[in-house]
Structure formats: C-alpha cells, structure tokens
Amino acid sequence: DIQMTQSPSSLSASIGDRVTITCQATHDIGKFLNWFQQKPGKAPNLLIYDASTLKTGVSPRFTGSGSGTDFTLTISSLQPEDIATYYCQQLHDLPFTFGGGTGVDLK
C-alpha cells in the first residue's frame, strides 16, 4: 500500500498567517492527490484535486502544489473559518490511502 505522511500533525497559527502543510507519498503518485478540510462533527469537504486544481467555490486562499511524492497545501492568509483538520489522499493505487491529518488551530 502507498503510505501518505502528513506534517505537521498539528499547528497553531495567527489570523493572517501563511500556513503550509506537506504530504509525502511512499511511491510516485503523479498528481493523483486530493486535499480535504474537515471541521468537527462534519464530513470532509474537497478543497483541491489533481494536486493543484481548486474545487469550484473554494477560497483562492488555498493552493496545492507538487507531483510525484511530495505535495503541499498552502493557506495564504489564515482566516477563522479555516480552523479545521486537513487530509491528503492518494488515488493513484488501490487501496486509496489518506494522510494522518493536520489539525490547524489559532495561536
């Protein structure tokens, strides 16, 4: 199975900060990577697919980059509504696998 390693597992940031989350795959997955945001008690919500394509309606504060084994999700200017847990997911090989998640809260 392809393992997805996210870092950090949690972070604290201030409103307006630039936030960066990384996701590393154990094998080359091309650009078959999704990023999700999950708020407490809610279902995950797709933010970015194909590693860098923003889902329609998602704030352009969110950008994704990378290919192969190394990927990044960046929030350009953290807002209160961005407080959540973020997950990456590879869909290159079965079984599809998720990173362990990165919890983002306010400093």
Partner 1 sequence: EVQLAESGGDLIKPGESLRLSCAASGFSFRDAWMSWVRQAPGKGLEWVGRIKSKGGGETRDYNTPVKGRFTISRDDSTATVYLQLNSLSAEDTATYYCVWETRVAVFGRWGRGTLVTVSS
- What residues line the site for partner 1 (CB under 8 A)? 1, 32, 34, 36, 38, 42-46, 49-50, 55, 87, 89, 91-92, 94-101
CA–CA gap between residue 5 and residue 9 (Å, rounded): 9
For 98, the token pair is 């998720």
Q: Compare residues 63 and 101 and give the one whose CB is closer to partner 1.
A: 101
* Residue 36 beta carbon to partner 1: minimum distance, rounded to whole angstroms: 8
CA–CA gap between residue 52 and residue 47 (Å, rounded): 10
* Residue 44 beta carbon to partner 1: minimum distance, rounded to whole angstroms: 6
Partners of residue 106 on adjacent β-strands = 13
Sheet holding 62-67, edge to edge: 4-7, 19-25, 70-75, 62-67
Q: Compare residues 11 and 17 and give the one whose CB is closer to partner 1.
A: 11
Q: Compare residues 78 and 86 and give the one whose CB is closer to partner 1.
A: 86
